[in-house]
Homo-oligomer: A and B are copies of this chain.
Amino acid sequence: MAAPVRRTGGRSAAVLSSIRAAVEELVRERGAERVTIPLVAERAGVNPTSVYRRWGDAATLINDIATYRLDPDRPIPDTGDLRADLVAWAGEVVEHYRKPVNAALLRGGAATAGERESDCLRNRRAEATMLVDRAGPGSPVTADEVIDGVIAPIAYRAIFLPWTLDEATAGRLVDRLLPTGRSA
Quick one: copies of this chain in the complex?
Answer: 2
- Judge whether A110 and B159 touch: CB under 8 Å: yes
Interface residues of A (CB under 8 A from B): 31-34, 57, 59, 103-104, 107-108, 110-114, 117-118, 121, 145, 147-149, 151-153, 155-157, 159-162, 173, 176, 179, 182
- Report chain B residues within 8 Å CB of A121: 160-161
- Residue on B nearest A173 in the bound complex, by CB: B148
Given A32-B111, A33-B59 in contact, is the A118-B160 Cβ separation under 8 Å? yes
A114 in complex: contacting residue of B103, B148, B149, B176, CB < 8 Å: B103
Chain A binding site: helix, strand, loop or mixed by DSSP?
helix
- Report chain B residues within 8 Å CB of A147: 153, 156
Given A117-B161, A179-B182 in contact, is the A110-B112 Cβ separation under 8 Å? no
- Judge whether A149 and B151 touch: CB under 8 Å: no
- Besides A107-B114, A113-B160, A147-B153, 18 other CB < 8 A contacts? A31-B112, A32-B111, A33-B59, A59-B111, A104-B114, A107-B110, A107-B112, A107-B113, A108-B111, A110-B111, A111-B111, A148-B153, A149-B149, A151-B156, A152-B155, A152-B156, A153-B153, A156-B156
